[in-house]
Homo-oligomer: A and B are copies of this chain.
Amino acid sequence: MSGSIYGKNFRISTWGESHGKGYGVVIDGCPAGLAIDEGQIQAYLKRRKPGQTKYSTPRKEDDKVSILSGVFEGKTTGTPISLVVFNENQRSSDYSDIASYYRPGHADYTYDSKYGFRDYRGGGRSSGRETISRVAAGAIAASILNELGISVYAYTKSIGPVTIDYQNCRKEYSLNSTLSMPDPDATKRAEEYILEKQNENDSVGGVIECIATGMPPGIGQPVFDKLDAALAKAVMSIGAVKGVEIGDGFLVATRTGSENNDPFAYDKNNQLTKLTNHAGGILGGITDGSEIILRAAIKPTASIGRPQRTANKYNENIEIQIVGRHDPIIVPRAVVVVESMVAITLVDYLFQGMTSRMDRIKNFYKK
């Protein structure tokens, strides 16, 4: 089997390694007639770029994207869109030690178990740089959603002990914040916390919240392909994610039915709404027209400067110390990755949703 292809009606196929020639994605199933250019995709990629803050890894990559196919005279043709970002910085440092041992928290051992050996340079295929392909595709998915009046917005909800409430935050700030945390005070406290742990040669985790606005009701599938199930997979597939919640998530375990049920009501425009949104916009796997809300728990960066115990492939227990400067936190750069995976999934489901009713299919083919 495979592992690097995602989606049903909007499908992406990704490739690339940290120290190979580059990263890419082929998008098969993008409709014809969508205006896209490299600038749009570049803007998305910029949000996951390393080297933007004092904390983040100083690898200076421009991550410049090229469109290799599927676009003609500024519009998608409906055939596969191939996007590529060539690695600029592929000179391997000396990786001979990494080649022989298994870094804690990394996929070194599991890749060796599965494949018999691995491309050890910078994590190979398991490097966080793999998300370049996701974000490039996410930019195109976001353009499609934009045409349909749908937007996806994610932000840093918490870093270590510092948590913010979405109700009090401003989206504009988030896009310009180094931590993607739309609350200046919280950002300051989070920065202090990161710095403290970084000084201890340690790293920190956090939570990302993602909100999709404008989804029509009735999108999703029953049983196995519930939209929330698909979103859970999409987001859990991002390297450092260890948990996914929809709506109130784990809180529901301590709630009662009367607290958790969202009453339906017509508003003054005779539009059906819900008075609360504990469900996070999805009931029975299908959108109810409210905002879709999900959260992802991001683990602290596995690469830390402290000495760590581990094992090597020569059957020895050893102590290692990972050199080089590493991001003490993944969260802010993962925000646009979560947005991308959600956007890609929503597009796929909107496309799937066009065939649920015979009357609408008849109407479609009448024209």
Q: Is the CB of B298 within 8 A of A253?
A: yes
Beta-carbon contacts under 8 Å, A14-41 to B: 14-17, 20-22, 24, 26, 28-29, 31-34
Binary contact track A197-241/B, C-beta < 8 Å → 1, others 0: 100101111110000000011111111111011101110110100
Q: Kindly specify which of A43-51, A173-181, A306-314 makes contact with the partner chain.
A: A306-314
Q: Of the candidates B29, B218, B252, B309, which one forms a contact with A1 in the assembled complex, judged by CB atoms under 8 Å apart? A: B29
A287 within 8 A of B: yes
Interface size on A (CB < 8 Å)? 164
Q: Is the CB of B28 within 8 A of A111?
A: no
Counted per complex, copies of this chain come to: 4
Q: Is the CB of A264 within 8 A of B102?
A: yes
Q: Is the CB of B252 within 8 A of A205?
A: yes
Cα distance A265–B311 when bound, in Å?
5
A340 within 8 A of B: no
A286 within 8 A of B: yes
In the assembled complex, the CB of A232 is this many whole angstroms from the nearest CB of chain B, namely 4
A to B CB contacts below 8 Å, 16 in the list: A2-B28, A3-B221, A3-B224, A21-B69, A104-B261, A104-B262, A107-B222, A107-B285, A114-B218, A114-B357, A202-B257, A230-B233, A232-B233, A242-B249, A257-B302, A272-B311
